[in-house]
Amino acid sequence: MHNGERTKSWNMTKQIRSLKESQEIPELDLAYNVGIIYEAGLDTTNIALEVFTLACATQPRFMTSAQEELDRVVGRDRLLDFSDQADLPYISAVVKEVLRWRPVSAGGIPHAVTQDDEYMGYRIPKGATVIGNHWSIHMDDSIFPDPMSFRPERWLENPDLPLYAFGFGRRACTGQHISNNSLLIIIARILWAYDVKPGLDGDGKEVEIDDMAFTSGFNSRPEPFEVRFVPRSEKVVEVVRREFDEAEKDIDVLLQGVREAQGLSAAAAIKR
């Protein structure tokens, strides 16, 4: 909290501290609330990107279709941005398949029942802990045929397929739209620029990667594995280097931009 409040620019710590409701919250609880927001967003997004990389290395066929779409829509002379999003349905399907194929929280988030209930003949008393098992739901072959295969096409063939990686109902993850957008832009840019391949052993042969080797815990991530990010062309290297050189790197400037965008979004919502 102290470090966040000392920075020059706007940040989430200052935002939460400024709220009227925050004045009645103990300092330790306030620090916990700030920390959990960052932790919930950063770790889960990182894990999803590891899962994407794992899919590229173990089930790479989808990359061809994804790169064909990117080359057609974006071309080879620039990095894509969010203005391209509506024209990239296959990339959007890749993001959904990442979240389905190996859900970050495989066991789901525990919730407490607020009143006595009955489900399929089972009595569920008030206060009981219930868990929506994300893994089992997303591996139901009556809904997702061949569920162990990484097939983004399933989301294009049936746009009404359910996705529960962010939870259920009004208790679903409030940051799901930020997460989706972050995953889409990062995944799309990786596929635009690179072929993702398994790492090489001492003999120059591709290493074997187990796509079921995951850590245990509340959030589950792939066990460490080696991959190579191979530029798709020399032109790609030029574009990526140019974009990096031109990108804003001052964290205070970036955070202030987030604050200004937040203000514009709030103003637009009020006008509507």
Buried b / exposed e over 238-249, threshold 16 CB at 10 Å, is ebbeeeeeeeee
Judge whether 135 and 102 are in contact, CB under 8 Å.
no
Backbone CA torsion sign across 227, 47, 147, 211: positive
Please give the radius of gyration of the chain, using alpha carbons only, rounded to the nearest integer. 21
56 labeled binding residue = no
Question: Could you say which DSSP state residue 198 is in?
Answer: E
| E-assigned strand segments in 29-137 | 110-112, 117-119, 122-124, 129-131
Interatomic CA distance for residues 74 and 70, integer angstroms:
5
How remote is the C-alpha of 127 from its chain's centroid?
31
What are the distances in angstroms from CA 19 to CA 12, 50, 163?
11, 35, 33
Interatomic CA distance for residues 32 and 21, integer angstroms:
15
Closest to 166 measured CA to CA, from 232, 100, 92, 247: 100
Show binding-site residues for heme.
Answer: 173
Show binding-site residues.
Answer: 173
